[in-house]
Amino acid sequence: MSVLLANLYQKYNIHQIVNSGALTDALGDVYEEFVEAIFKDLLTLQSWPANSTEYYIADQILKYLNLNISQISTISSSRKGIPSTLNGGTPKTDICLNIVLVDGLTRLVPLNVKQSTHPKVSFAEYDVATIINDLSITDPKLIFLLEKHQTDASAKNFTPIERAYLRTHLAPHVRNLVRWCITLNAFPTCQDIRYPEYVIRFDLHHPKNNATLGNTFKAVNVYDIEGYIDKIMLNLKGQPRSGGFGTGLSWTYATGSKGKKIQFKG
């Protein structure tokens, strides 16, 4: 049981929220504040017991960074001051760590925090014009088929030839599309706080099914972006998933944007 997490569930009255949309928003705040608190400062970082969730998350991030605590002079975390993406979108970075090393070097570490009571979470919801621009897609027929999927809100009206064309000609862009869905940048970035480099994902029990405040999540996993792309695109045997035209994502739409945007879930 994480005392910190239990206190945050109480702070946000999680067990009293009935509306599903309000619950999703509140849980987002809970888990972002939870991760922010883990990296609050060096003394806090050093304080987590070795068997705690907080220690596990911190340890995984530091391993990805090839750092240990003895190399860190100061560390801080913040959810504020993260600018918009290049195309003016809301950044996928939820928290940025600022690490000053004992040798004087500084590391900026942008994190994305995902949480859901459902197996799949929404990654991105954008119109095709934005997608093809950000991925530099120029094939007219591929663009037509993406627009058709957007207008029809599915591939239900695609012929077998159209399905095959979309899969085949999207293939060179697939990995960049998945990366873009996660970070809003089709290409790898380094220490640009607008685009996350690591994902912390919590798979949650629904609060109404919790026996205690401490029984809050089923699992937590920490990924770098390339590892998270692999998780989405590959099955447990390491083979490409067949769904989502090779992306491994579900292509759907959100309420109110049917026919106007494509929503990607995974």
**Domain 3-118+191-232 adopts which CATH fold?**
Trna Endonuclease; Chain: A, domain 1 (3.40.1350)
Provide the residue ranges of all domains of the chain, joining segments of one domain with +: 3-118+191-232, 122-178+233-265
Kindly give the confidence (pLDDT) of every residue in the chain, 266 residues in length, as a single tens digit, with 9 standing for 90 and above.
689 999 999 999 998 999 989 999 999 999 999 999 999 999 999 999 999 999 999 999 999 999 999 999 999 999 999 999 988 889 999 999 999 999 999 999 999 999 998 888 889 999 999 999 999 999 999 999 999 999 999 999 999 999 999 999 999 999 999 999 999 999 999 999 999 999 999 999 888 776 454 467 889 999 999 999 999 999 999 999 989 999 999 999 998 999 999 999 98
Q: How far is C-alpha 124 from the chain's CA centre? A: 9
| 170/262 Cα distance (integer angstroms) | 15
DSSP state of 234: B
DSSP state of 39: T
| 238/140 Cα distance (integer angstroms) | 32
Under DSSP, is residue 104 helix (H, G, I), strand (E, B) or coil?
coil
| 52/58 Cα distance (integer angstroms) | 10
Q: How far is C-alpha 34 from the chain's CA centre? A: 16
